[in-house]
Structure 1
Amino acid sequence: MDIKALFSHHLSQLQIIVEKTPESLFEQALCADMLNLAMHAKIAANFAIRGYAPLVGIEPVLVETDSNDKAAVLAHIEQVVGWLEQAPDKEQLSAQRAHTERLGFATAELAEPQFIHQLVLPNLLFHMAMVYAIARSHEVPLSKGDFDGLHSYPAGFSFVEP
């Protein structure tokens, strides 16, 4: 499995969602006690570094962006994409190598396959889904294809009658 290509694919889809989202929504959150769209997008992108760097023996240095406007979020994602492109290739995950990660108030030690499949990818996709959900809750015309890059529906298509 090409982990770098997998992360690059998800970052590309995140860029598409962010590009389609109006500037006015970047400070919006699903509820008052949740992060806003901009923070979810930046955290999703940084999970590519947070997950890939330990696999190739690099200390993860996350991209920091002070602003939450659309241009800053897109620049943030681009920086992560650039970092990933320059990172060494990782041929395969090793069940014999474990990575310790702080998870909120917990700590977990996970072998590389579990580290990627149970921690990194779910978190990247969770934060990406929050970006999608916030945008959709404000009627941004996004589709499942924008999220996964695979599905295709005609403009205006809906499974639910409004």
Structure 2
Amino acid sequence: MHNAQSIIDTLIHYVDQIESLLTKIEQRPDCDGLLMMRAAPDVFPVCQQMAIAINFAARAVAPVTGRALPHFPDTPTPHALHSLTADVRELLRDVTPSDFIGQTVTHTAGHAELTQNSDDFILRYALPNMIFHFTMAYAPLRAAGLDIGKSDFDGQHSYPDGFSFE
């Protein structure tokens, strides 16, 4: 892996962003309803999308490094999501850049059988899937009027109060 530490840091960063969004949701009286929202009728609800996104951070490194995946919750309650986040963060902090050298992963993406080197597996499969599922959690929350913006997603943006895109 050419820049494994940057990948590990990026995965931890987005796990932290997902957990921060979860904390915002928990502060709302309509928390349960928000967690059950969907971007479309035929996709997973926000809580499941968050669990999948968090899990993809672990799935990015576990097969490359030979580590076991943390337990995925049967029911993604806020408590279960915080637990999964803690377990994934611990897994990521135990990974070292040398764990990625010369590794390949054979896996299934939908119905496609793939064999990828660690760079391709993480950068072209696991990380994009993590971001996809995070987006699928973020979008319905934003559409429902939850006071969130780009900074809640990427942790980078900052806008002055009262700034509007309209």
1:92-144 deviations in Å (ceiling 9; x for gaps): 754x5321111111111111111111101100000111111121011111111
Q: How does 1:118-129 map to 2 (within 5 A)?
A: 118-129=124-135
Choose the corresponding residue for 2:62, options 53, 57, 61: 53
What TM-score, normalized to structure 2?
0.85
Work out whether 1:9 is the aligned partner of 2:9: no
Aligned to 1:139: 145
Q: Give the superposition deviation at 1:12.
A: 0.8
Q: Residues of 1 paired with 2:62 and 2:36: CA distance?
A: 29
Q: How does 1:96-115 map to 2 (within 5 A)?
A: 96-115=102-121
Deviates more, 1:19-28 or 1:133-142: 19-28
Q: Residues of 2 paired with 1:12 and 1:90: CA distance?
A: 20
- Normalized per residue, the structure richer in helix is 2
Q: Give the superposition deviation at 1:155.
A: 3.6
Aligned to 1:18: 22
Work out whether 1:88 is the aligned partner of 2:92: no
Q: Residues of 2 paired with 1:71 and 1:17: CA distance?
A: 14
User: Retained in 2: the 8 A contact 1:55–1:90?
Assistant: no
- Percent identity over the alignment is 29
Task: Count residues with an aligned counterpart.
Answer: 157
Q: Which amino acid aligns with 1:17?
A: L
CA RMSD across the alignment? 1.8
Q: How does 1:142-161 map to 2 (within 5 A)?
A: 142-160=148-166
SS of the residue 2:145 aligns to: coil
Q: Residues of 2 paired with 1:67 and 1:44: CA distance?
A: 15
Aligned to 1:79: 87
User: Retained in 2: the 8 A contact 1:98–1:112?
Assistant: yes
